[in-house]
A and B are shown apart, each in its own frame.
Chain A
């Protein structure tokens, strides 16, 4: 960034103005360098052991001031922080200054606190949860108070979905406690709000005193709706803070604690949108993979497959059967051929064909089985493969004799 001094100073000044806390602050310290100018304004410094703060009080506030401080006085000043551009100094613009010395009030506060604590009004178990989405938010404060404006600003920025219902009341002075009680009562009686903000901006301890009132504390404890308090500043504790369901340090903080942030919601919705898409995609993916694995399983179990297997097996068997049959037939055929051949070889006709002959007695037709059976003069028939010879035995001799003559 590149600024002129004026621009940068103006920027810093805006930072002060945008800070809720610094616009409504109460500060304790010792008065020094007090100047009461002719214009009616007061200029002074507030200091403690370690720090100093420049301060001014304009004539309009000075005129309302009963207490006139002196250098060295311990005071509590209320106002806002601003930047004095001409000197480049930040300063407190005070609208109230009062002397410290409040021992009496403090003692009273402690007595009531002990009493309510003893009744159990501060118990954690009594505290109700604050709804996450408060549709209607009740606010108990003064319509003119900066606190009401702060709450509206925060809600506009943070959770404009809500409806804000003001239950107006005085927030300081003698009438304030009764009005605060009545305002709380109206909210819980007439409208269904989801949460109540009981708020007031910073001020002196006397200014905040209505919030230490016993009847107010009891009204908060008895309220049917969860109550968030935001009274005074960070360091201010009033009785209602102890009995409330939740205590916020300031009015703005009370509005913040009552509501979700719209930017967070937008992000959450966008994230949920992504989650929905992702979850659906992954569901579809897993269904797809289930389907694919089922299809694989089905292919395994399919009868088509079984039938094909069986068919193949049958084909195998058929082929084997055929091969075996062929082999057997061939064997049988070969055996038949050899038998036929043997048979053929053994037939009388075949024997005759090879040159052998059968001799029978012509008369009886008996086979001549031995040479000794025949006698000279016997008629014999010699059967050859192609015809018979009629002959007559002339002589015979045994092989023994024959051999002898032959060799």
Chain B
């Protein structure tokens, strides 16, 4: 499994949804359940943290195709 801190919000969110499906399917061993539970908690923390610190980035594409920060 990949390092959670490096995950984008989208990827973490998608994995969270998958983990819930797996947990709710109910045919996991105890160890699998607990591993998924822990990873799910970390993923949700990560998502929440990304939301908390998110700040819209605004840039502009020039005629030559360069992208420059705006404002």
Q: Is B one of A's binding partners?
A: yes
A166-B60, A283-B28 known; A160 vs B54 contact (CB < 8 Å):
yes
In the bound assembly, the distance between CA atoms of A312 and B70 in angstroms comes to: 92
B37 contacts across to A, CB distance below 8 A: 276-277, 280
Q: Given A156-B56, A275-B20, verify A161-B51 contact (CB < 8 Å).
A: yes
The answer to whether B41 touches A166 (Cβ under 8 A) is no
A62 at the interface (CB under 8 A from B): no
Residues of A within 8 A of B30 (CB): 283-284, 287
Q: Are A163 and B59 in contact (CB under 8 A)?
A: yes
In the complex, the answer to whether B61 meets A190 with C-beta atoms within 8 Å is yes
Task: Tally A-B pairs: CB < 8 A.
Answer: 112
Complex interface bits, B13-33 against A, C-beta within 8 A gives 1, otherwise 0: 100110110011010101001
A171 to chain B, nearest CB (A): 15
What is the size, in residues, of chain A's interface with B at 8 Å between Cβ atoms? 40
C-alpha gap A164/B70 in the complex (Å): 10
Name the B residues within 8 Å of A270 (CB-CB): 44, 48
A124 to B47, CA, bound (A): 35
Which residues of the partner chain B approach A159 to less than 8 Å between Cβ atoms?
A: 56
Q: Are B47 and A165 in contact (CB under 8 A)?
A: no
Number of residues of chain B lying within 8 A (CB) of chain A: 36
Q: Which of A186, A265, A266, A275 contacts B24 (CB 8 A)?
A: A275
B58 at the interface (CB under 8 A from A): yes
Q: CB-CB contacts of A152-176 with B at 8 A, as 1s and 0s?
A: 1001100111111111100000000
Q: A299 interface residue, CB < 8 Å from B?
A: no
Distance in angstroms between the alpha carbons of A113 and B60 in the assembled complex: 32
Residues of chain B within 8 A (CB-CB) of A168 are: 60
A162 adjacent to B20 (CB under 8 Å): no
Known: A161-B50, A269-B44. A133 touches B9 (CB 8 A): yes
Selected contact of B8 from candidates A135, A265, A269, A277, CB within 8 Å: A135
CB-defined contacts of A99 to chain B, threshold 8 Å: none
| Proximity string of chain A (312-341) to chain B, C-beta cutoff 8 Å, 1 when within and 0 when not | 000000000000000000000000000000
B51 adjacent to A265 (CB under 8 Å)? yes
Contact between B44 and A276, CB atoms less than 8 A apart: yes
- The answer to whether A273 and B63 touch across the interface, beta carbons within 8 angstroms, is no
A189 within 8 A of B: yes
**Assuming A190-B61, A279-B24, A280-B34, is B47 touching A269 (CB within 8 A)?**
yes
Decide: B24 and A273 in contact? CB cutoff 8 A.
Answer: no
A126-155 interface code vs B (CB 8 A; 1 in, 0 out): 000000010100100001000000001001
**Complex alpha-carbon distance, A279 and B13, angstroms:** 18
Chain B residues lying within 8 Å of A143, measured Cβ to Cβ, are 60, 70
B54 touching A262, Cβ below 8 Å: yes
CA distance in complex: A163, B47 (Å): 17
Docked-complex contact A272 and B61, CB < 8 angstroms: no
The CA-CA distance from A138 to B34 in the complex, in Å, is: 41
Report chain A residues within 8 Å CB of B8: 135
Contacts A156-B56, A265-B47, A272-B17 known; 5 new A-B pairs at CB < 8 A: A165-B61, A166-B60, A275-B23, A276-B41, A283-B23
A-B contact list, 5 entries, CB within 8 Å: A163-B56, A190-B65, A275-B20, A276-B44, A284-B33
Chain A interface residues (CB < 8 Å from chain B): 133, 135, 138, 143, 152, 155-156, 159-168, 182, 186-187, 189-191, 262, 265-266, 269-270, 272-273, 275-277, 279-280, 282-284, 286-287
- The 4 A-B residue pairs with the shortest CB-CB distance, nearest first, are A279-B23, A190-B65, A276-B40, A160-B54
Interface residues of B (CB under 8 A from A): 8-10, 13, 16-17, 19-20, 23-24, 26, 28, 30, 33-34, 36-37, 40-41, 44, 47-48, 50-51, 54-61, 63, 65, 67, 70
